[in-house]
Amino acid sequence: MEFRHLGRSGLKISAITYGNWLTHGSQVENDIATACVRQALDEGITSFDTADVYANTAAETVLGEALKGERRESLEIFTKVYFPTGPGGPNDSGLSRKHIVESIEGSLRRLQTDHVDLYQAHRYDVHTPLEETMSAFADVVHSGKAQYIGVSEWTADQIREAAALAKELRIPLVSSQPQYSMLWRVIEDEVVPACEELGLGQIVWSPIAQGVLTGKYKPGQDYPEGSRATDTKGGADMVSRWLKDETLTAVQKLAPLADQAGLTMAQLAVAWVLQNPNVSAALIGASRPEQVTDNVKAAGVTLEDDLMAAIDEALGDVVTRDPAVVARSTPEKRPGD
């Protein structure tokens, strides 16, 4: 396993980080989820990412149980706050002081730990003053309940404002967690340069584009049985944007390039995001332990410049690059309002 500093902080995390969005507590049974976590540990993964909203808190509980008995100092545990949990009352979402202070307590209880290594704002809250949010995060850090602070799907301007307040409050804002893949490059023009300037590293999610970059979805063919595209619990909605024939046809052109590199298509996709020097880690999920074993082989891989250029040529116009897309990740209303 390769280990990288999270931004300019002193914290090192595994370049392949295990995330349990869309799997633990919902898509896979708890015993399989635990087996995936154990496999991640066996493969050298030390960093684990979750969120209180995943499966309405169940994912945190599953992860806490799966990591029970591990030496806490040998792990880096990340979670997030913003989206609704519980019955969805008026203060059960957002980044108000009340929600942050109450949410960290619930997360720690479910994760069976007295602190998380990284506590992340899952989205930007336009209905709470940023000063209130960052002050609440400062209290969480200064009380020892989180070591570092991060954000997820924030714009470059939002990150700059938060970084200024974090410096004033003497708390380490060290990371951004955006979507990033060969097909989804919206962070490259604005978010990445801002983070490089400010010392934040990227922990990127969906590096395989919801499984599309594995090549298992073929243009004009039925979706594989049991795949995310056939999941009626929400997985199909998440992957639908990638299932146009134009995109699937372009993705098939990556197969010979992966063969050339001696990688599976999934490994190629994960290795690709790790070529960006601002990326500290790629998040992988799994519904089977063998998927973990396959994906971790992307750690430490260097893709040559001519291969990177060939990937760009193969994908052509199906890549989404517009940086304005990031701003649309900021909810106009709090969930539940």
For residues 39 and 24, what is the distance between their CA atoms, to the nearest angstrom? 15
What is the CA angle 327-140-121, rounded to 5? 15
For residues 76 and 45, what is the distance between their CA atoms, to the nearest angstrom? 9
Let me know if 223 is a catalytic residue: no
For residues 218 and 229, what is the distance between their CA atoms, to the nearest angstrom? 12
Helices and strands (DSSP H and E) totals, the chain: 13, 10
Provide φ and ψ at 60, rounded to 5°.
-65, -40
For residues 93 and 336, what is the distance between their CA atoms, to the nearest angstrom? 8
For residues 297 and 295, what is the distance between their CA atoms, to the nearest angstrom? 5
Catalytic residue among 54, 119, 124, 148: 54
- Which H or E element spans position 150? strand 146-151
For residues 16 and 284, the answer to whether their CB atoms sit within 8 Å is yes
- Catalytic residue list: 54
